[in-house]
Amino acid sequence: MEWTEALLERIDKLEPAVKAWVHLDREGARRTARERAAQAAGGAVVGPLHGVPVALKDIFDVAGMPTRAGAKAFAHRQPDTDATSVARLRAAGAVILGKVTTTTFALMDPSPTGNPWNPAHTPGGSSSGSAAAVGARMAPLALGSQTVGSVLRPAAYCGVVGFKPTHGRISAAGVVPLSWSNDHVGILVRAVEDAALALQILAGPDRADPLTVSHPVDDYLAGLGGGSAPAPRIGVLRALIERAAPENAEHLTEVTRRLSAAGATLGEVVLPASFAGLHDSGQVVVRAEAAAYHAPNFPRLAEEYPPKIREALTVGQGIRAVDFLAARSHLRRFRDEMASIALRYDALLTPTAPGPAPRGLESTGDPYFCAPWSHAGMPAIALPSGLSRDGLPLSLQLVGSAFAEARLLGAAAWCESLLDFREAPRA
């Protein structure tokens, strides 16, 4: 109970500047927190998230709360059932604080949210409120979604851990879709161990989502090694590091030196030929699938959509089936070619974003470095790794083999311990 009250007080203090929340369920959170406190006093623990406050991106259905998806009134709904991921959090004992901001329909039109490290800078998107809330210490755990770069890039900008598992590992039932074949439910927390715990709760097939898979769920917490995990094998995607902004490229190069000096085995990785044109193919798939989802509303309500998603849906409506299928084939080819490369390592190391969060709220930043792994459905995690000269967070991205989240999280925990990032935004 005290934790929930302390967070509500912190939200009241910081929200005028950060603007992360769209629906704060004070009474519902307090009621659940009181129930959890009474249960704990009686020796009963609901689950591993007993009493843990959680924030949810406003594309996740929560029974009794509006789902607005960052859009105008025509898109608002009042669901009477929880999204599968939300139901699993509740079953584990979580306290739902409420809903946080998203870009409109989880694309690129920015929300009003500011970066907790400096509100004049973007928090990233589309999971802007999720990252800002965790970064500002308003919540210890938030759910977001990533179709291109919408969990890891905001995590990087806000100085937190962002994690998306393999596509289909977590059910997306009850989550407003953008592109079914690219949408991932993602986790935003402050430590790798918390990401592993959340995945343990959320992972697994779901009849309500035909894209989930029945691949065995590992013991992700045990995979962290309890502080005694061996030094990982890391494949360094040097060409991507060199594409980052100079300050960030220099920072990540120094990080690789530190990892090597601490015992990690590093190897240089060359991207396969299918990387060429991958981003364009990914956009074809995302726009076409988004247009399909919005087909019932968009023709008559196009002017109600903000500019960037309106443009994407307009383009998506005109994509030919032959071009869509060719783009899907390209993404599968990249996934297949990356699979054999990723298997040789515990993780692949790349930038998460070109650099620190850009100034201004007109853009959510560049998803270039996250997009390939979303399109390939590979698990990826962003780790805060230092501060820029302007005092904004920098981040590295680790990518793993499909369904090898335990191995990826183990490597991430080892790197996290070495990096020892303890900075926090000013309250």
Residues designated as active site:
57, 126, 150
- The CA distances from residue 137 to 8, 129, 134, 297, in Å, are 11, 12, 5, 37
Query: End-to-end alpha-carbon separation of the chain, Å?
Result: 22
E strand segments, 40-183 = 53-57, 95-100, 141-146, 161-164
The token pair that represents 98 in the structure block: 């409420």
The DSSP code sequence of 302-316 is GGGS-HHHHHHHHHH
47-72 burial code (b ≥16 CB/10 A, e <16): eebbbbbbbbbbbbbbeebebbbbbe
Residue 312 and residue 109 in contact, taking contact as beta carbons nearer than 8 Å: no
Residue 382 and residue 156: Cα distance in Å, rounded? 6
Strand partners, 23: 99
From the list 143, 208, 222, 167, the residue with the least C-alpha distance to 400 is: 167
Nearest to 403, CA basis, from 374, 378, 426, 370 = 378
Rounded CA-CA distance 340/134 in Å is 35
Q: How far from chain centre, in Å, is Cα 69?
A: 16
Cis peptide before 126 (omega within 30 of 0): yes
* Helix, coil or strand: residue 106: helix
Angle at CA of residue 39, ends 41 and 50, nearest 5°:
105
Specify the amino acid at residue 138: M
